[in-house]
Amino acid sequence: MKPVSHYLPASLLVASFLLAACSSTPPAKQISAPVERFDQHSLSVEQLLLQAEKSSGSRKARWLMEASERLKQQQQLPQALEIARQIKPQMLSQPYQNQSLLLIAQLELLQGDPSQIDIYLQLLTQPALLTEQRLMLMEIRALQAEASNNLLDSLQARINLGHQLINQQAKAENYQRLWQNLSKMEAAALDAFRFQPPPDEASGWIDLRLLSNNNAADPDQFQGAWSNWQASYPAHPAKDFTPESVGKLLQAMPFMPQQIAIILPASGRTEAASKAIMRGISTAWFEQSAEQRPTLKVYDTSKQDIGLVYQQAITDGAQAVIGPLTKERVSQLAQMDLQVPVLALNYLKETLGVEVVTLDNRNDSLDSQPSQQLFQFALSPEDDTREIAEQMHFDEIERVAVLTPASSWGDRLNRAFSQEWEKLDGEVASQFRFTTDDQLSKGIRKLLKVDSSEARIRRLKRVYGRQMESRPRRRQDIDAIFIASRPQQAKLLRPLFDYYYAADIPVYATSHVNSQYQATGDGDKDLNGIRLVDLPWKYQSSPLKPVAEIYQDPRYQNLYAFGFDAYNLISQLPRFVQLEGFCSNGQTGQLCMDQDQSIHRNLVWAKYRRGHSQLREKPVN
């Protein structure tokens, strides 16, 4: 039998809820009225127990009952049960006898031995039960079913109790408990319990739970399903007592600003990147129907103070902002009192403790404290390294060789992967930082310790003074190779692994090895066998592909997708905030937000076969 201590919150509220539900009952029928003559409210628990010690018979039992009730209200359940067990119900007249039995049964369920509950309940004088006592009995039966993990009986008990309750707060508590119990059941079990067709109430609760589970990540689809559910169950209590999780899905309407400011540099070292991002934003804007498109206003941040640019955008009527692009600008903007949501296109160097906020869809704007309006989104290579490390760990790889360019970019990925890998208790067996293509052959030979094997063979030949049939061997203590490189280096690395006897070592690569969204001809045969994480837009029907064909510069193709996602994220910001675990499928990956309001990407997995990067089912990790 499952422990029942976690049922405490609802049970402690039941007495006050049930008594409140019968507030219209004439005073003569309230079980507390005769106890009032003891003036028990002015006494402490110790004084109540002292009165019990001085009394006998029914008066002693009533003092003990009051002391136990008081301790229960104070959540001192062990002491309350100990005192309740001293009560002799047979010494009491009705309605006190029934009340004492219900009290003992409830405390045994919460703290003692649930198997003894039926003994007390069988002693009840059913015809003498007051209305509030009948409701308490129904609550105990529901809790008893939950404690026995009999969720079907619990569902029916909660439904029956809901029909009898009058107090609206009590009803809400009851239906919330019903909903929580349904959340413990697997989908197959829920489906099996739908014995009756609509508009059966039990089937309605089960259908709604299934709809909520199946559409938790897609509020738009859920809202359509909710309309259909309402038509099937027109008088269902969930319409008036909507579960909190359902309410959040219904309230998570998209944020639809009338004007969006784009703040990007028009000159300088990031000019080309800004233009690529802007092409992605424009593509997403044209994908919308004409009546839904907001006004876009672009502001140059290359030479102006970011604060002035932001304030000008607000003055011009912006209700949301996309940008800035550089970390420095993002850090400056994060210190300001932001009046509308800002989707920065980079991550802060350090977390500034940004708190979660709530978006006000009714006014199409946000009203919150400084820096709470800041959301961060970046095409970060750390997303690649995180997923690769997690997958290697799942693949039971232990020792890894790491190959990266000898550059700030390469060192960044080397550091990011190594940190993630060490968190998973993996070991970096060896590292190689290459500066030029000419170094690759010599570096791979040394990394795999083929040079050491060749040196041993030469020594043996000198010792024995004759030619020997021998073949160099690579080191045997590497389980996998991680590479972060551009395509031109990757095309040289893979053949070198094969040449130096490492064709059997699995190679994992970041998305940067694949610069093409579609390969032509024979493709890149030299990349065959490499497993990589990548951006999903390359493997699906995407409005970005015509853009990539017009602007055939592989360096910026992913930035088109980045701009496309940035524009679409603006409408999804309320859902990231309001719906726990919400993620949105984008062109650059599955987009999910962490507690710092930084949006990260989950990528797709691919593998090079016959010169082409081919999507494969994402490994389970």
Provide DSSP, 424-458. Answer: TT-EEEEEEEESSTTHHHHHHHHHTTHHHHHHHHH
* Alpha-carbon separation of residue 18 from 133, 192, 602 (angstroms): 8, 33, 49
Q: Tens of pLDDT along 244-282?
A: 889 888 888 788 999 999 999 999 999 999 999 999 999
**Mean pLDDT, to the nearest integer, of 432-451?**
85
Going by the DSSP 8-state scheme, the letter that residue 58 receives in this structure is H
Give yes or no for residue 21 having a pLDDT over 60: no
- Residue 168 tokens read as 């609206």
Neighbouring CB atoms inside 10 A of 292's CB total 11
The Cα 536–Cα 565 span in angstroms is: 12
* 38 lies in some domain: no
Reading the block at residue 42, the tokens are 């002015």
CATH code of the domain containing 330: 3.40.50.2300
pLDDT at 7: 31
User: Is 501 within the bounds of a domain?
Assistant: no
User: Which pLDDT band holds residue 185 (cuts at 50, 70, 90)?
Assistant: confident
pLDDT tens string 97-121: 999 999 999 898 888 677 778 888 9
- Look at 19-28, 70-79, 366-375, 416-425 and tell me which has the smallest mean pLDDT: 19-28
The answer to whether position 280 is within a domain reads yes
Residue 554, domain member (yes or no): yes
User: What are the residues whose beta carbons fall under 8 Å from the beta carbon of 131, sequence distance 6 or more?
Assistant: 22, 25, 29
pLDDT, mean over the chain: 84
Residue 501 dihedral angles phi and psi, to the nearest 5°: 70, 25
Question: What is the pLDDT at residue 357?
Answer: 32
State the amino acid at position 207 in one-letter form: D
pLDDT on residue 8: 30
Mean pLDDT of 416-435: 94
Please compute the mean of the pLDDT values over residues 219-233 and round it to a whole number.
90
Specify the pLDDT at position 362.
31
- Which residue's entry shows tokens 């402690």? 12
Q: What is the mean pLDDT of residues 302-329?
A: 95
Asked, for residue 421, whether it belongs to a domain, the answer is: no
Say yes or no to pLDDT of 478 above 60.
yes
Q: Quick check: is 569 in a domain? A: yes
Percentage of the chain with pLDDT > 70? 85
pLDDT at 59 over 60: yes
First-to-final CA distance of the chain: 33
Pick the more confident residue, 37 or 93.
Answer: 93
Collapsing DSSP to helix, strand or coil, 615 comes out as: strand
Residue with tokens 């400011």: 261
Predicted pLDDT at 214: 84
Least confident range from 163-177, 410-424, 509-523: namely 509-523
In the structure, what pLDDT confidence band is assigned to residue 591 with cuts at 50, 70 and 90?
very high
User: Which amino acid, residue 327?
Assistant: K
Q: Does residue 18 carry a pLDDT above 50?
A: no
Report pLDDT for 370.
37
The pLDDT of residue 161 is 95
State the pLDDT at residue 29: 31
Retrieve residue 511's tokens: 């998305």
Which strand (E) or helix (H) includes residue 606?
A: strand 604-609
The pLDDT tens digits for 48-58 are 999 999 999 99
pTM (2 d.p.): 0.67
Query: Token pair for residue 116?
Result: 């003894």
> Does the pLDDT at position 2 exceed 70?
no
pLDDT of residue 3: 36
> Does the pLDDT value for residue 395 go beyond 90?
yes
99 three-state secondary structure? helix
272 within some domain: yes
609, part of any domain: no
The Cα angle at residue 472 between residues 466 and 473, in degrees rounded to 5: 145
Give the closest residue to 570 by CA, choosing from 361, 339, 322.
322
Residue-number span of the structural domain to which 282 is assigned: 254-348+372-377+544-575
Q: Higher-confidence residue: 456 or 615?
A: 615
Mean pLDDT, rounded, for 552-566: 89
Report how many domains make up the chain: 1
Hey, what amino acid is at 179?
Answer: W
What pLDDT does 393 receive? 95
